[in-house]
A and B are shown apart, each in its own frame.
Chain A
Amino acid sequence: MSRVRVVLVDDHRLVRSGVRAELGEAVEVVGEAGDVDEAVHVITDSKPDVVLLDVHMPGGGGVEVIRGVHAQLPAVRFLALSVSDAAEDVIGVVRAGARGYVTKTIDGPTLTDAIVRVAGGDAVFGPRLAGFVLDAFSGTDAAPESDDELDALTPREREVLRLIARGYTYREAAQELVLSERTIETHVSSVLRKLQLSNRRELAKWASSRRLV
C-alpha cells in the first residue's frame, strides 16, 4: 500500500514542523500552507489524500479551506486538528466536510493512525468530538415529533460514542461491545453522516452562531 499523501495547513510554522516530525512512516507530507489562500493553492496543486487542517486561521479558518476545495476535489479528505475547545468551531468544521477532529495533544502514532483511517474513508472521533456529539444529540426523548432518522442516534451509536468519549480506541470499543472493529467504524461513519446532514436545532444553532453553513 502506498503512503498516504498529506498536506499540513496551520498558520504556525512551529506547529507544522512539530506535526511533521511526529508523523510516522505511513504518511508522506507533500505540502504545507500557512493561510487559507495558500492552502487552497497547495491542495489544488498537489491533490493530496488527506489535508490536516487547523480550525482557527487568519482569513476564515478551516471552514473556508474546505469550501474552497471541496467542490473541485471531492476526493480530498479533511481531518481537523486544533486546540480549540469551543463546540461551535468543532461542529462547524465537521459540518463543512471534515471527516474527523482530533486535538493537538494527540500523540504521533495515534495521529498517523487517524490520518490513515481518514484516507480510507473512515471518520475519526476523539473523546472531545464524541462528547460534543452526545451533547448535541441529547434529549431525543424530548423531541418525538421529529421522525427524521438523521436527527437521532441509535442506541448502539450512542454506546460507541460513549466509549470513545471515555478514551477508548476503536479496537478497545470493539472488544468491549463484542463487535468487530469494522462495525465500530461503520457506526462512527454513520454518526458523522448524521452530524453533517441533520438539521437538529442544536447543530444548526452551533453552526450558525459562527455563520458556518
Chain B
Amino acid sequence: MDASRPTLARSGEGRLIAGVAMGISKHLGVNVVVVRVVFALLAVNGIGALAYLAFWLLVRDDDSELAKPLRLHHPRDVPKAILRPRTGDVPHRRRKLLGYVVIGVAAASLLGAAHIGFGGNSVLPLSVAGAGALLIWWRSPEAQRAQWTRDARHYTSRFSRRGPLLIVLGGIGLVIVGVTSFLAANDALAQARAGALAIGATLVGVLLVTGPWLWRLLRELSAERRARIREQERAEVAAHVHDSVLQTLTLLQSKADDPNEVRRLARRQERELREWLYASAAAPATASFASSLRQAAADVEDAHAVSVDVVVVGDAPLDDSLAATVAAAREGMVNAAKSSGAPSVSVFAEVTDRGVEVFVRDRGRGFDPEQVPADRRGIRESIVGRMTRNGGKAAIRSGPTGTEIALTVPRQARA
C-alpha cells in the first residue's frame, strides 16, 4: 500500500458530522469540499445520505480524543462527556455549526419537496427522538468497550460504573418519548399500535430463537474480559516483583560478604513491598504526618543501616509545626542510629485532638545531655530548639539502658 496515503478512517480532526467526508478526502487526497459537495448532490435522490450512513457505520473511527479514557464519576460529568471537545479550534467549530445549519435546512427542504410534510408540531418530537438517538450512537461501541475494560478498575463510585448505561437508557427514553409524541401529533397512534403489536410479536419470536445464543455470546464476552483483566493484573504483579524483589535478591547475592549492606537492602525491600501490598488502599492524597514520619524513618534506615520500627496512632495533615516535629524526630533517629550503637530504634507517635507526641527510643549506650559539647548542634538546635520555636517541647532521657527523646507539640487551632 502507498505509504503516503493514510488508511480510510473516519477523521477525528475537522469533522462536520462523523468525519466521513474528511476521512475520504484524506485517504484519496482530494479537497474535502469536493467530497462534501458530491455527498450533498447525491443526497438529492437519497443515495448520498445512505452512502454516508454506511460509511459512518462501517469505517473505523480515528478520533484520538476517544482513545483517551473518559471518567464518569458524577452525573454532572455526563454533559461534559457528550459535549467533550473534538479536536479542532474555535473557527473550525464555528464552521461546523454553519455546516449543521446548512444540513438542517437542506434536510427540511428535501422533506418538504418530497411532500412528506408533517405538521409544524412534529419538529419538536422528532428533535427529541433525534437527540436520544445521538445519545445512544455518540460514542462508537469499540471505543466504549475498550474504555470499559481499561477503566474497570478505576471506577469507584456507583454512578461511574453505571454512567454509560444511564446515558444509553436516557437516550432510549428520549427516542420513545419523541416517536410516541410524533405519532400522536400525526394521529397515527392507533395504526402504530397495531404495527407495534406485530413488530413486538416478531421481536419476541426472534428473541426466543436467538436468545440462548445471544446470552452465551454475552457470557463469553464478559468471561473473556475478566480473563483479560486478570491477565493484566498478573503481568503487573510479575513486573513489580521483577523490578523490585528479584533485583534486590540479585544484589544480595553479590553483597553477601557485607552483612550491613545485606541488612539494609533487605529492610528497604521489605518496606517497599509492604507499602505496595498494604498502603495502596489507604494512601492519602496529600502529605500526612504519619506518612512523612514513616518516610523519615525509611530514610534513616537506608542511610545508617539500622532498623527503625514505627508505630503511629492517628494521623493529621502536615502543617508547619508537625513538619518541624517530623524533622526533629528524624534528627533523633539519626542520633540514635549514629551514636547509640543499638541495632534498632523504636518510634511511637500519637496524634490526638489536643496534640501530637512522638517518642524515639533506642536501647544503646546512653549519653548525658548535660555533657554534650556546645558545638554538637544536633540535639540542642535541631531537636530542642526546633521544637521550642514551633510551640512544642522536647525532653531527653538517657541512661545506661538507652535513650528516649519525647517530642510534644499542641495541635494548631483548626480554622
- CB nearest to B406 among chain A residues: A166
Q: Is A167 within 8 A of B346, CB to CB?
A: yes
Q: Is B278 within 8 A of A85, CB to CB?
A: yes
Given contacts A166-B361, A167-B309, A167-B361, A86 and B278 within 8 Å (CB-CB): yes
Number of A residues near B (Cβ < 8 Å) is 17
B274 at the interface (CB under 8 A from A): yes
Number of B residues near A (Cβ < 8 Å) is 19
A111 at the interface (CB under 8 A from B): no
Return chain A residues, CB-CB under 8 Å to B359.
166-167
Q: Is B309 within 8 A of A127, CB to CB?
A: yes
B348 at the interface (CB under 8 A from A): yes
Q: Is B311 within 8 A of A127, CB to CB?
A: yes
**Total A-B contacts with CB atoms under 8 angstroms apart:** 44
A105 at the interface (CB under 8 A from B): yes
Q: How far is the CA of A135 from the CA of B315 in the complex (A)?
A: 10
Return chain B residues, CB-CB under 8 Å to A134.
313, 350
Encode B364-387 as 1/0 by CB contact (under 8 A) with A.
000000000000000000000000
Contact of B348 among A83, A85, A131 (CB under 8 A): A131
A130 at the interface (CB under 8 A from B): yes
Contact of A105 among B274, B307, B312, B363 (CB under 8 A): B307
Return chain A residues, CB-CB under 8 Å to B274.
85
Return chain A residues, CB-CB under 8 Å to B346.
127, 166-167
Given contacts A86-B278, A166-B359, A127 and B348 within 8 Å (CB-CB): yes
Q: Is B311 within 8 A of A128, CB to CB?
A: yes
Q: Is B309 within 8 A of A162, CB to CB?
A: no
Given contacts A105-B307, A166-B346, A166-B359, A131 and B313 within 8 Å (CB-CB): yes
Encode B315-350 as 1/0 by CB contact (under 8 A) with A.
000000000000000000000000000001010101
A138 at the interface (CB under 8 A from B): yes
Return chain B residues, CB-CB under 8 Å to A167.
309, 346, 348, 359, 361, 363
Q: Is A165 within 8 A of B313, CB to CB?
A: yes
Return chain A residues, CB-CB under 8 Å to B361.
166-168
Q: How far is the CA of A105 from the CA of B308 in the complex (A)?
A: 11
In the complex, which of the residues A128, A131, A135, A138 has the most CB atoms of chain B within 10 Å of its own CB atom? A131
Encode A100-142 as 1/0 by CB contact (under 8 A) with B.
0000010000000000000000000001101100110010000
Encode B266-305 as 1/0 by CB contact (under 8 A) with A.
0000100010001000000000000000000000000000
Q: Is A165 within 8 A of B348, CB to CB?
A: yes
Q: Is A166 within 8 A of B404, CB to CB?
A: yes
Return chain A residues, CB-CB under 8 Å to B363.
167
A81 to chain B, nearest CB (A): 16
- CB nearest to B311 among chain A residues: A131
Known contacts A131-B313, A134-B350, A167-B359, then 19 further A-B pairs from the complex at CB < 8 Å, ordered by chain A residue? A83-B270, A85-B274, A85-B278, A86-B278, A105-B309, A105-B344, A127-B311, A127-B348, A128-B309, A128-B311, A131-B311, A134-B313, A135-B313, A135-B314, A138-B313, A165-B313, A166-B348, A167-B309, A167-B361
29 contacts between A and B (CB under 8 A): A83-B270, A85-B274, A105-B307, A127-B309, A127-B346, A127-B348, A128-B309, A128-B311, A131-B311, A131-B312, A131-B313, A131-B348, A134-B350, A135-B313, A135-B314, A138-B313, A138-B314, A165-B311, A165-B313, A165-B348, A166-B346, A166-B348, A166-B361, A167-B309, A167-B346, A167-B348, A167-B361, A168-B361, A172-B401
A positions within 8 Å CB-CB of B: 83, 85-86, 105, 127-128, 130-131, 134-135, 138, 162, 165-168, 172
